[in-house]
Structure 1
Amino acid sequence: MSELRDLVLNAHGVTRWKSARTIEGNMSITGLLWARKGWPDALKQVRVTADTESQRVYYQPFTNPDWRSVYGLEAVAIETSDGKSIKSRVNPCASFQGHAVETAWDDLHLAYFSGYAIWNYLNTPFLFVLPGFKTEEIEPWDEHGESRRRLKVTFPDSVATHCPEQVFHINSEGLISRLDYSAVVTGGVPIAHYASEYKDFDGVRIATKRRAYRRRADGTAITEGVVVAIDIADIRFS
């Protein structure tokens, strides 16, 4: 544990999050990654439902107006809006073996990546209290005239995420303003992912604007092209 970790948890609203079981939100997800993988507009206007206690996510619509995706750690599926199975894949992470940056995805690859990624984003930093997580404050980072504290987080194998070790930049309010990672299933490209325009939704502060860029070896972002853009219109906890 670390003092910085607890500061971040409290700033984002950990007490309210602990009482919730699901997070629902309307959002639009676009960017160069989806186009490169063959799905430029698949997540442009979607409703996402994510569990807080288990790694489970639904996107609707998903590649068809009447379909939804179902993400789980052990399997992903596509089904009709009334729950009829269309296709599924067990051990979905293994299906990315041998992929390169330019490798196209099928719809179940899309369901897996989009599922675990948004589950992480919506449940961070609250994930850090789960068993197996390790947090450590590291040296600060100066960017745009601001010095930010940084938290290095090591994820356990039981949580699907971009990579085992990630670095979170913390602003003066205790909110996550940036996270650095290299997503293994997309080819391991270093990414600087910015989170901004926080809003309070029923006691939990959520970044409603996210922009991910390629990251140079010196840690600076290449802002000419947006790899992933996420715009969240609303969030509900239940």
Structure 2
Amino acid sequence: MNTMLAEVLEAHGGTHRWNELTVVRATVVSDGGLFALKGMPQDGTPREMTVWPHEQHASVRPFGAPDQKTDFTPDRISIEKLDGRVVAERAAPRASFAGHDLNTPWDPLDRAYFNGYALWTYLTTPFLLVMPGVAVTGIQPWREGGELWPGLRATFPPGFAGHSTEQDFYFGPDRLLRRHDYHVDIAGGFAAAQYVHDIVEVDGIRLPTRRRAYRRDADGRAVPGQTMVSIDLSDVHFG
């Protein structure tokens, strides 16, 4: 294993502890300009996010109505009643984004798919980097203020649901995550730089509870005032 990756995994709680866990739950509040562009502005309602960390599977509730939830996997997205009755569903959801640009409106299933894969990614970083088929290499560090953040580039396998096939992760001197760069392929491929803050330790795992994703310019810098997505987590717990 890449030495840097090994240090990163250990700093976030270690693979031994991670492999003992079967589910992650958190209260999520999200906002940002991306949702307004997609015709789906957020209302600030706290929602419960559930993620199964060792497979790409996630659910959020409520969604669209107090008695509804989502069910996400890479091959299917659905909106369901809490008793499991299907309200709407879509197989092969990634294909529905073909031809989308940044301003193409989303429908509720599009929004549910984005929410599913994005929050799954955030609640499993950095441990998703050692899942089968993921290739990780070192990249040039990113300088932020007076710090130099070493980086890792992940190349995800076909069929993996994420922002983009290649994603970059940068870590502080303590080897904890500081920044996550990617392209949002399902929204025209715009470049994003996501900064993370307020890292907490829960059940032996360390993770950030505030995320802010900005448009990224040609020099790799976040564009001030262009917050595309904000995510605040609370009441995180593992099972």
TM over 0.5: yes
Q: What does 1:1-238 align with in structure 2 at a 5 Å threshold?
A: 1-13=1-13, 14-41=15-42, 44-238=45-239
Change (3 A) 1:43 1:76: farther
Deviates more, 1:40-49 or 1:77-86: 40-49
- Amino acid aligned to 1:234: D
Calculate the TM-score normalised by the size of structure 2.
0.96
Whole-Å separation in 1 of the counterparts to 2:92 and 2:237: 30
Q: Confirm or deny: 8 A CA contact 1:101 1:187 kept in the other structure.
A: yes
Calculate the TM-score normalised by the size of structure 1.
0.97
Unaligned segments of structure 2, at least 5 residues = none
1:43, distance to aligned residue in structure 2 (A): 6.6
1:44, distance to aligned residue in structure 2 (A): 3.8
Whole-Å separation in 2 of the counterparts to 1:150 and 1:114: 25
Kindly provide the CA deviation profile for residues 93-145 of structure 1, in whole angstroms up to 9, marking residues without a partner as x.
00001111100100000111110111011111111111111111122111122
The DSSP-based 3-state class of the residue aligned with 1:132 is coil
Kindly provide the CA deviation profile for residues 3-27 of structure 1, in whole angstroms up to 9, marking residues without a partner as x.
1111111111132221011100001
- Amino acid aligned to 2:167: Q
Kindly provide the CA deviation profile for residues 68-90 of structure 1, in whole angstroms up to 9, marking residues without a partner as x.
11111111100111211111100
1:28, distance to aligned residue in structure 2 (A): 0.3
Query: CA RMSD, aligned part only?
Result: 1.1
Unaligned segments of structure 1, at least 5 residues = none
The DSSP-based 3-state class of the residue aligned with 2:225 is coil
1:221, distance to aligned residue in structure 2 (A): 0.7
Whole-Å separation in 2 of the counterparts to 1:43 and 1:58: 18
The DSSP-based 3-state class of the residue aligned with 2:198 is strand
Q: Confirm or deny: 8 A CA contact 1:48 1:59 kept in the other structure.
A: yes
Runs of 4+ displaced beyond 3 Å:
none
Q: Confirm or deny: 8 A CA contact 1:214 1:227 kept in the other structure.
A: yes
Change (3 A) 1:168 1:129: same
Q: Confirm or deny: 8 A CA contact 1:75 1:89 kept in the other structure.
A: yes
